[in-house]
Amino acid sequence: MRCFCTGDLSYDEAKKKLITIKGIGPKTADVFLMAIKGEQVLPVDVHIFRIMKRLKIASERDDYESLRGKLESEIPPAQRTKTHLILIESGRRICRSQNPKCEECPIKRYCEAGKNDFAIPNI
């Protein structure tokens, strides 16, 4: 039996195969393929989704695949892994769902929520 993560399958084929495994959804499959196979994909987790909503890049209508597509259309493939990791860390430490630290945010000038003096809604 050949391992589908060794390059024998395309990204789409490998992802389809991974999400048939109980407990693995699109995000987990993308993280796996990014880390193990080196796919130039940008997985979107809850932290990234929250940041993108606050920046008005994502809307309530966006799902995982639509937001991933938006981000990948703007971020060069070679920068996607680094971007993924930076956004997750930023979402954990600065752009938190509860009590975000807008004053510490390096991109607050682009964020409508961070520009306002009123309380940021929990997202």
In contact, 26 and 63? CB cutoff 8 Å: no
Domain ranges for the chain: 1-39, 46-123
Q: What is the pLDDT of residue 8?
A: 83
Please tell me the total number of residues recorded for the chain in this structure.
123
Burial class from Cβ neighbours inside 10 Å (0-12, 13-18, 19+) for residue 29 reads buried
Nearest to 32 by CA among 89, 82, 81, 66: 81
Q: What is the pLDDT of residue 1?
A: 42
Q: What is the pLDDT of residue 115?
A: 64
Q: How far apart are CA 89 and CA 1, in angstroms?
A: 38
Q: What is the pLDDT of residue 54?
A: 93
Q: How far apart are CA 35 and CA 56, in angstroms?
A: 28
Give me the DSSP letters along 4-45: GGGTTS-HHHHHHHHTTSTT--HHHHHHHIIIII--------
Selecting from 1.10.3430.10, 3.40.50.300, 1.10.1670.10, 3.40.30.10, what CATH number does the domain 46-123 have? 1.10.1670.10
Mean pLDDT by 10 residues, the chain (123 residues): 63 95 97 95 97 94 97 98 97 94 91 64 53
Neighbours of 17 (CB within 10 A): 14
